[in-house]
Amino acid sequence: MSLLLALFIALYAISAVNKSKVEALKTEFIKIFNYAPKPEAMQPVLVIPPDSGKEEEQMASESSKPASQNTETKATIARKGEGSVLEQIDQGSVLKLPSSLLFENATSDTINQDMMLYIERIAKIIQKLPKRVHINVRGFTDNTPLAKTRFKSHYELAANRAYRVMKVLMQYGVDPNQLSFSSYGSTNPIAPNDSLENRMKNNRVEIFFSTDANDLSKIHSILDEEFNPHKQQE
- Domains along the chain? 3-60+69-233 (3.30.1330.60)
Show the low-confidence residues of the chain (pLDDT under 50). 1, 22, 24-48, 51-82, 223, 227-229, 231-232
pLDDT value of residue 131: 86
pLDDT value of residue 85: 64
pLDDT value of residue 158: 94
**Nearest-angstrom CA–CA distance, 232 and 24:** 33
Q: Which residues contact 41 (CB under 8 A, 6 or more apart)?
A: none
Alpha helix positions (H), the chain = 3-13, 19-24, 26-33, 54-59, 71-79, 99-102, 116-128, 154-171, 196-202, 216-227, 229-233
User: What is the CA angle 151-157-160, rounded to 5?
Assistant: 110
Could you give phi then psi for residue 75, rounded to 5 degrees? Answer: -65, -40
Q: pTM for the whole thing?
A: 0.62
pLDDT value of residue 15: 53
Q: Which residues contact 159 (CB under 8 A, 6 or more apart)?
A: 46, 48, 139, 181, 183
Q: Which strand ranges, in their side-by-side order, compose the sheet holding 204-210?
A: 46-48, 179-183, 134-140, 204-210, 92-98, 85-89
**Nearest-angstrom CA–CA distance, 113 and 168:** 11
